[in-house]
A and B are shown apart, each in its own frame.
Chain A
Amino acid sequence: GEDVEQSLFLSVREGDSSVINCTYTDSSSTYLYWYKQEPGAGLQLLTYIFSNMDMKQDQRLTVLLNKKDKHLSLRIADTQTGDSAIYFCAETLVNFGNEKLTFGTGTRLTIIP
């Protein structure tokens, strides 16, 4: 079965890079996602990567995938106060299509001025 794990908290100084980590267990073809949740809001899809890719970059966001270790990371460059949020890693199996997203518990990112 699928299991997605994340650390619960991360504090970073404004202007530094933030690296949020996630591990997953399923070895099948998957899509892996990063969602952002600001206080009182829904989840915003930030980016996603297919399991045959190693890296994806989108402006300040870089996703790195280590397939051997089943480790996914999200790097936010030049972290700003607006990046304060909970970040969720999620996984879906390709053969399930869209029916089943498995989420991690979320990492709360706090920015230190």
Chain B
Amino acid sequence: DAGITQSPRHKVTETGTPVTLRCHQTENHRYMYWYRQDPGHGLRLIHYSYGVKDTDKGEVSDGYSVSRSKTEDFLLTLESATSSQTSVYFCAISEPTSYEQYFGPGTRLTVT
């Protein structure tokens, strides 16, 4: 998985609790992304980062925030988890000179 790890790999949480997912890369790639995967929707972009402390929203950003204080780490936070955020979350990385995105193994999040 191109030097990308995600933690945790599985999480079950209750509605209303905060949750943080971590993406860690060892490739020193500048761009990082968070997607969610849901049946019938493919993958949809939540947020992305084009450098340390530089982030922007994707198409489904409501209810999510991100932070990137180091090149290698990109955090996704659900401030108050809802059942609609039950999904599989994927992190991806890429370089500005390349049009190739590489994906991590995913985190399965269940909000009860």
Contact = CB atoms under 8 A, between A and B. Distances in A.
Given A42-B104, A42-B105, A98-B31, A105 B99 contact: no
A44 B44 CA distance: 16
B45 A101 contact: yes
A41 B35 CA distance: 14
A4 B92 CA distance: 20
A88 B42 contact: yes
A43 B45 contact: no
A101 B99 CA distance: 10
B35 to A, nearest CB: 8
A92 B99 contact: yes
Contact of B50 (A94, A99, A101, A104): A99
Contacts of B99: 31, 48, 92, 94, 97-98
Interface string B54-76: 00101000000000000000000
A100 interface: yes
Given A41-B105, A43-B103, A48-B99, A103 B44 contact: yes
Nearest to B91: A42
B96 A98 contact: yes
Contact of B90 (A31, A42, A98, A99): A42
Interface of B: 1, 4, 31, 33, 40-45, 48, 50, 56, 58, 90, 92, 94-96, 98-106
What 4 pairs across the A-B complex have the smallest Cβ distances?
A103-B42, A42-B103, A43-B103, A103-B43
Given A88-B42, A98-B98, 14 more contacts: A35-B103, A41-B105, A42-B103, A42-B104, A42-B106, A45-B100, A45-B102, A94-B99, A97-B96, A99-B56, A101-B43, A101-B101, A103-B44, A105-B42
